[in-house]
A and B are shown apart, each in its own frame.
Chain A
Amino acid sequence: AQTVTQSQPEMSVQEAETVTLSCTYDTSESDYYLFWYKQPPSRQMILVIRQEAYKQQNATENRFSVNFQKAAKSFSLKISDSQLGDAAMYFCAYRSETGSARQLTFGSGTQLTVLP
């Protein structure tokens, strides 16, 4: 079974600064996707960024980028120019490309605080 570990329960960053959230995962599969989701107090999970395991190039979405190290099974999220609206719980998630359900396996989350 796959596992996802987020070792930072809480992080804080000054507005306009850069912060990196860590995630490691364990799998024996070669074909999978990795995701970062954001969960604000409204509780709705919002997709931040996705990475296909077969792609060596790191994904980027505006101020959000990842550092994907497949051999090390590491998938960190970098938020540049942090904004107050970035404050939320961030979850790293894994999705296998085998099986019928293709469900997500989530880490335990990192609570990000953005300081004005």
Chain B
Amino acid sequence: ETGVTQSPTHLIKTRGQQVTLRCSSQSGHNTVSWYQQALGQGPQFIFQYYREEENGRGNFPPRFSGLQFPNYSSELNVNALELDDSALYLCASRSGPYTNTGELFFGEGSRLTVL
């Protein structure tokens, strides 16, 4: 059973550029969430995808968008990058959006630096 994998692990962009981060969910998991973790802070919920549709969103502007594919992998896209977008982006998956166990399985994150 493979865990949650994310790519790339590190990347550097300049302000105004666009970035795409990728996530493969754990085997058998159809629900993927994305979190932003700024340096020295706890993760903040960006959005969640279930069966290829967004079914929840945190307080992030529309330039943060996502996709989920039929194999349940997911992408996070950020347009018009700002300096404050520099953060660790965590992907997490679970077996369903309403599971009562509440357990998420996290990847190791993608560290984005915006210059």
Contact = CB atoms under 8 A, between A and B. Distances in A.
B66 interface: no
A100 B88 contact: no
A100 B41 CA distance: 25
A71 interface: no
B106 A45 contact: yes
A20 interface: no
Contacts, number: 65
Contacts of A44: 106-109
Nearest to A34: B102
Interface residues of A, number: 25
A25 to B, nearest CB: 12
A47 interface: yes
B56 A42 contact: no
A101 B56 contact: yes
Nearest to B88: A43
A33 to B, nearest CB: 5
A100 B56 contact: yes
Nearest to A50: B102
Contacts of A106: 42-44
A107 B42 contact: yes
Interface stretch (B11-19, B22-30, B74-82, B90-98): B90-98
B71 interface: no
A104 interface: yes
B42 A101 contact: no
A85 B25 CA distance: 27
Interface of B: 33, 35, 40-45, 47-48, 55-58, 88, 90, 92, 97-98, 100-104, 106-109, 111
Given A43-B109, A50-B101, A93-B42, 6 more contacts: A43-B90, A50-B102, A99-B56, A100-B55, A101-B48, A102-B56
27 contacts: A33-B102, A42-B108, A43-B88, A44-B107, A44-B108, A44-B109, A45-B43, A45-B90, A45-B92, A45-B106, A46-B106, A93-B42, A97-B100, A99-B56, A100-B56, A101-B55, A101-B57, A101-B97, A102-B97, A102-B102, A103-B33, A103-B48, A103-B58, A107-B42, A108-B41, A108-B42, A109-B40
